Chains A and B, each alone.
Chain A
C-alpha cells in the first residue's frame, strides 16, 4: 500500500505555455500533499504544502501565481506551472502524507520531468 502516482512522467512544452502535473495517492487518503522541485545533482527543495480544501502554503521565494496548486480531493493535488520559461525546467516531485502512523510518514511520487524549450 501507500502508492503515489504522478502524471505525466515527463513533459516538453514551449516557453509561455502552462503545464499541469497531477499527484494522486492511489490507496490512501492524503489530507496533506507536498510539492518539491529538484535540480540536477541537488536535493529536493520544498515548494509548497497543499492541504485538501484550503489554499496552499508556499515556501519563501516560490511565486504562488506562477505555481498554482489545487488540492480538490483527498487523493488528488495538481501543480500548474503557468507561463513556463526555460528556467522552470526541473524535476517536480510530490509527496503525500498518510496520517495515523507513528512515523508521520510521507510517500513520494515518481516525479515529473519538465523541459521548457
Chain B
C-alpha cells in the first residue's frame, strides 16, 4: 500500500531560526515528490517538485532534498518568518497511477516572534 509519513506532526520555532521537516514514503513505482505549503483555509501551494534523479531543489528559503534509495525527503526552512506558519504537506506521485497523488499527514509549523 502506498503511504507517505511525515514528522514531526507539529513544530513550534522562533522567528529567524531554521527547521527541517521529514517525509518517508513507500510509493512505488516512484514518479515524483512534491512539497506543498498550505495556509489555514487555503489550498495547497507548490514549493518544490523532484523526480527520481533530483537530489535537491531550492525555492527561496525552502530547500528540499530527496534520497530515492532510502525513500526519504526533507524540507529545510532557513531564517524562518512569521508567514511561514502553515501546514507543510509531502505528496508523492506514482507512475501509471492515473495522476493520483499520495498525501502525507502534514507538519503544522508555527513560527513565533
Contacts and interface: CB of A to CB of B under 8 A. Distances in A.
Majority DSSP secondary structure for residues of B touching A = strand
Interface string B76-113: 00000000000001000100001111011110100000
Interface string B26-43: 000001101010000111
A97 B99 contact: yes
Given A43-B106, A49-B100, A111-B42, A103 B32 contact: yes
Given A41-B108, A43-B89, A106 B43 contact: no
A97 B105 CA distance: 22
Contacts of B49: 103, 105
Contacts of B108: 41
B51 A103 contact: yes
A109 B41 CA distance: 11
A6 B42 CA distance: 11
Interface string A81-117: 0000000000101000100001111111111010000
A117 B96 CA distance: 41
Contacts of B51: 102-103
Nearest to B108: A41
Given A32-B99, A43-B105, A102-B51, A91 B44 contact: no
A56 interface: no
Contacts of B101: 46, 106
Interface of B: 31-32, 34, 36, 41-46, 49, 51, 89, 93, 98-101, 103-106, 108
11 contacts: A34-B100, A43-B104, A43-B106, A49-B99, A103-B34, A104-B99, A105-B46, A105-B49, A111-B41, A111-B42, A111-B43
Interface of A: 4, 6, 32, 34, 41-46, 49, 91, 93, 97, 102-111, 113
